[in-house]
Amino acid sequence: MTDDASGTEQGRPDPGLGAVMSERRQLLGLAYRLLGSVTEAEDVVQETYTRWYAMSAEQREAIESPGAWLTTVAGRVCLDLLRSARARRERYVGEWVPEPLPPGTDWVSGRWDGGGAVDPADRVTLDESISMAFLVVLELMTPAERVAFVLHDVFRYSFAEVSSIVGRSEAACRQLASSARRRVRAAQPSPTPAAAYAETVRAFKRAWEAKDIEALVGLLAPDATATGDGGGVVQAVPRPVEGAEEIARFFAGRMDVMPDLELLETTVNGRPGLVAQVDGVPVSVLAFAVTGERIQRIWSVLNPAKLRLWREG
């Protein structure tokens, strides 16, 4: 066992510490995409390193690729957590939305890794894979689907490597990734140019501030939905609000309830979004899915536990 967190054993420095710790960004990026939670991702990385240093120096030195070992362990820990997530989600008060990432989160880019050839049509960029819309689709997958898909289509691990993590055959992992891919394609909105996306969110902010219901309705798709996540700590609508007019009236009403609310444009999970503040403290972060020039989905995260990075920043 190590004497301390510096990775020493019996007072001797660990020559592989730098190489092992350099994997931390990759592991965090992987675990966040798999779990949709920064806190849980950090716990997974901590557990992964704990298992690494629980081995003797001789055992660690015998591992040919520490990075592959760490990824395998982190993937398995995530898989176990995902298997228990359904029960935990059922105990969660209200709607559960993935934890939003503030701009400048330095580990989300990760790095490309792994082997096998990937059809260009199946490629998912690292930026795409942290969007709120993408993470919400991942929530609909089985744990095995989610792990196989993210490892292969996002992080480019071969199916042989995925197989060792998921504990299924390569053929089974191919089927899992294919099934997950169909879910993503079915849920993906038509791409909206970045400038139009940002202008739509900006127009929503202006209309919200003005409590202009007509303008808000005009910016929302007729079948739009808005989901709030208060985690039982902060009051939020327990079920999604559906329909353009209902959503418009809901947001306009929030301005009446919270007249001191200040809206700021920002980037949420790599896409234009909004942060709502009171006395300079973030109280809600809003992510959007925009199709054409209409807002299809709004996710509003109010749970203080999920705003830690926003408040610390």
Q: Residues 29-80: pLDDT tens digits? A: 999 999 999 999 999 999 999 999 999 999 999 999 898 999 999 999 999 9
Domain boundaries, the chain: 17-187, 194-312
C-alpha closest to that of 127 among 24, 269, 266? 269
pLDDT at 116 (0 to 100):
45
Q: Let me know: does 161 contact 174? Beta carbons within 8 Å.
A: no
pLDDT at 2 (0 to 100):
40
pLDDT tens for 93-152 read: 889 999 999 998 877 665 444 444 445 545 577 788 899 999 999 999 999 999 999 999
Angle between helices 66-91 and 24-35 (to 10 degrees): 30
pLDDT at 104 (0 to 100):
82
> Whole-angstrom Cα distance, residue 300 to residue 230?
9
pLDDT tens for 156-168 read: 999 999 999 999 9
pLDDT at 3 (0 to 100):
39
Q: What percent of the chain has pLDDT over 90?
A: 69
pLDDT tens for 276-298 read: 999 999 999 999 999 988 999 99
> Whole-angstrom Cα distance, residue 117 to residue 125?
15
C-alpha closest to that of 98 among 146, 63, 52? 146
- Give backbone dihedrals phi and psi of 20, rounded to 5 degrees, phi first: -70, -45
Say if residue 211's pLDDT is above 90. Answer: yes
Say if residue 200's pLDDT is above 50. Answer: yes
pLDDT at 112 (0 to 100):
43
Interstrand relation of 271-278 and 281-291 (parallel, antiparallel or unpaired): antiparallel
What is the CATH number assigned to the segment(s) 194-312? 3.10.450.50
pLDDT at 99 (0 to 100):
97
> Whole-angstrom Cα distance, residue 285 to residue 304?
10
Helix (H/G/I), strand (E/B), else coil: 27: helix
pLDDT at 10 (0 to 100):
47
Say if residue 13's pLDDT is above 90. Answer: no
Q: Which amino acid is present at 16?
A: G
Give, in order, the Cα–Cα distances in Å from 13 to each of 6, 17, 18, 19, 27: 8, 8, 11, 13, 23
**H or E element in which residue 179 lies:** helix 170-187
- The DSSP call for residue 189 is P
Give, in order, the Cα–Cα distances in Å from 82 to each of 24, 112, 141, 198: 20, 23, 10, 33
> Whole-angstrom Cα distance, residue 259 to residue 142?
42
Say if residue 175's pLDDT is above 90. Answer: yes
Torsion angle of the four alpha carbons 75, 81, 83, 88, in this order, in degrees rounded to the nearest 10: -160
- Give backbone dihedrals phi and psi of 95, rounded to 5 degrees, phi first: -75, 140
Higher-pLDDT residue of 20 and 120 is 20
pLDDT at 123 (0 to 100):
54
> Whole-angstrom Cα distance, residue 53 to residue 305?
30
pLDDT at 17 (0 to 100):
66
pLDDT at 86 (0 to 100):
75
pLDDT at 92 (0 to 100):
86
Q: Which amino acid is present at 288?
A: F
Say if residue 258's pLDDT is above 60. Answer: yes
Residue 273 tokens, joined:
């979004």
Residue 89 tokens, joined:
């989600």
- The DSSP call for residue 9 is B
Which residues is 9 bridged to in the sheet? 12
pLDDT at 21 (0 to 100):
77
Q: What percent of the chain has pLDDT over 70?
A: 88
